[in-house]
Amino acid sequence: MSSSNPIEYIEIKTPPKEGHKIRITGEGLDGLYFRQARPGELVTLTGEGGGEFRGRILSINSREAWVFVFKFLTPPTESPAKIILLQALPDRERMELIIQKATELGVYSIVPFKSRRSISLAERERKQPKAHRWQSIAIKAAKQSRRGRVPLLEPYCDFSEVLEYAGGSDLKVILWERGNKNPLRDVLRPKENYGQVTLMVGPEGGFDPEEIRSAEERGFIPVTLGQRILRTETAAILLVGILQYELGDLG
Q: CATH code at 23? A: 2.40.240.20
User: Is 6 contained in some domain?
Assistant: no
Q: Are residues 143 and 215 in the same domain?
A: yes
Per-residue b or e along 141-160, where b marks 16 or more CB atoms closer than 10 Å to that residue's CB: bbbeeebbbbbbbbebbebe
CATH code of 128's domain: 3.40.1280.10
Q: Are residues 212 and 128 in the same domain?
A: yes
Show which of 73, 90, 106 is a domain's final residue: 73
- The model's pLDDT over 149-177, given as tens digits with 9 standing for 90+, comes to 889 899 999 999 999 999 989 999 999 98
> Average pLDDT for residues 76-103, to the nearest whole number?
90
Tell me the residue range of the domain where 146 lies: 82-247
User: Is 3 contained in some domain?
Assistant: no
Q: What is the DSSP string of 122-183?
A: HHHHHH---GGGHHHHHHHHHHHTT-SBPPEEPPPEEHHHHGGGGTT-SEEEEE-SSSS-EE
User: Is 233 contained in some domain?
Assistant: yes
Q: Total structural domains in the chain?
A: 2
- The model's pLDDT over 58-79, given as tens digits with 9 standing for 90+, comes to 999 989 999 998 888 777 778 8
Torsion (CA) 55, 80, 198, 95 in degrees, nearest 10: -30
Q: What is the pTM of this model?
A: 0.81
Peptide bond into 15 cis (omega under 30): no
CA distance 203 to 118: 5
